[in-house]
A and B are shown apart, each in its own frame.
Chain A
Amino acid sequence: MVDSKDLKPHEFLAKILEPEKKTDHICWTCKHFKPVLKGSKFPPADLVGWCKKIHWPFYWCVSEYDVIKSCYAYEKLE
């Protein structure tokens, strides 16, 4: 059980929802990123997650092969 006393909601979610991969993408600190969770079998192997912003309401697949270093839609997690 995660102690959520002093955590903000996104920090809490980050603790609970452990991502499958860790890469150099700028997305990891972006609030519009939805990572592939640990233990997920279904998504294609190269996905690290989805961007919920740039094609909203659709999701854009973020592959581990195109490492994003900057993005116009980037918003840092507070």
Chain B
Amino acid sequence: MCDIIWCKKCNTVNYLDPYCFWNWEGKINCAECGEVYYIHMIQGHMYRGPEPRPGEKPDIMPLYADKPLEGYKNYLPGTEGRTRPYNCTPRHIYLGHADYRKFSIRNRPMRAWAPQPAAGGVAGAYGFYWDIKKLSPEVWEEYQEKIKKGEVRDW
């Protein structure tokens, strides 16, 4: 649950996430038109505001904003100049879909990509050992290359 600032100028709902604004006094911009609003929140309840303060500098940007009366138009978190930027691990590390890898950080092979060859055994039974040379020859080749280049480390 969070409070909102509904900007009547441009009909945008700016969402105030509870953790940041639980006890908070300051100015926030509207994500769409940039109008600045003053609020004072105490224990998650809006005590003062939102009052428009045109021309003043905002202290913080809203987390997320959308325009519910105009379909699905929205500003996702981290939209530059409109909503609050992320301050966490850069998203380029996390892709949002399975990240296939063939080698660990010390460049030794690991089975982290799909598809893999089927078990071959009855009832889905696998052998004990991943015979990489036989089952994934192209990775084995790549591994040999890495060994030759001295990229394979102990740590």
| Total residues of chain A contacting the partner, CB 8 A | 6
* Contact across chains for A4 and B48 when beta carbons are under 8 A apart: yes
Closest B residue to A17 by CB, please name it: B43
CB-CB contacts below 8 Å: B42-59 with A: 42-43, 45-48
Residue of B with least CB distance to A12? B47
Instruction: Please provide the 5 A-B residue pairs with the shortest distance between their CB atoms, ordered closest to farther.
Output: A16-B45, A12-B47, A4-B47, A9-B42, A13-B42
A9 surroundings in chain B (CB, below 8 A): 42, 47
| CB-defined contacts of A13 to chain B, threshold 8 Å | 42-43, 45
Q: List 5 A-B contacts (CB under 8 A).
A: A4-B46, A4-B47, A9-B47, A12-B45, A17-B43
Interface mask (A8-36 → B, CB under 8 Å = 1, otherwise 0) = 01001100110000000000000000000
At the interface, is chain B mostly helix, strand, loop or mixed?
A: strand
Residue of A nearest to B48 (CB): A4
> B residues within 8 A CB of A17?
43
Using CB atoms and an 8 Å cutoff, list the residues of chain A in contact with chain B: 4, 9, 12-13, 16-17
User: Contact string, B27-48, partner A, CB cutoff 8 A, digits 1/0?
Assistant: 0000000000000001101111
CB distance from A52 to the nearest CB of B (A): 13
| Chain B residues numbered 92-135 whose CB sits less than 8 Å from any CB in chain A | none
Enumerate B8-35 residues with CB–CB distance to A below 8 Å.
none
Nearest CB on A from B54, distance (A): 21
Tell me which residues across on chain A come within 8 A of B46, comparing CB atoms: 4
Question: What's the nearest-Cβ distance from chain B to residue A78, in Å?
Answer: 16
**A12 to B46, alpha carbons, bound, how many Å?**
10
CA distance A12 to B48 in the complex (A): 10
Interchain nearest-CB distance for A29 vs B (Å): 19
A4 to B43, CA, bound (A): 14
Q: How far is the CA of A34 from the CA of B2 in the complex (A)?
A: 22
Q: How far is the CA of A17 from the CA of B47 in the complex (A)?
A: 12
- Tell me which residues across on chain B come within 8 A of A16, comparing CB atoms: 43, 45
Whole-angstrom CA separation of A27 from B48 in the bound complex: 27
Closest to A1 in B: B46
Instruction: Give the nearest-CB partner of A16 in chain B.
Output: B45
Nearest-Cβ distance from residue B8 to partner chain A, whole angstroms: 16
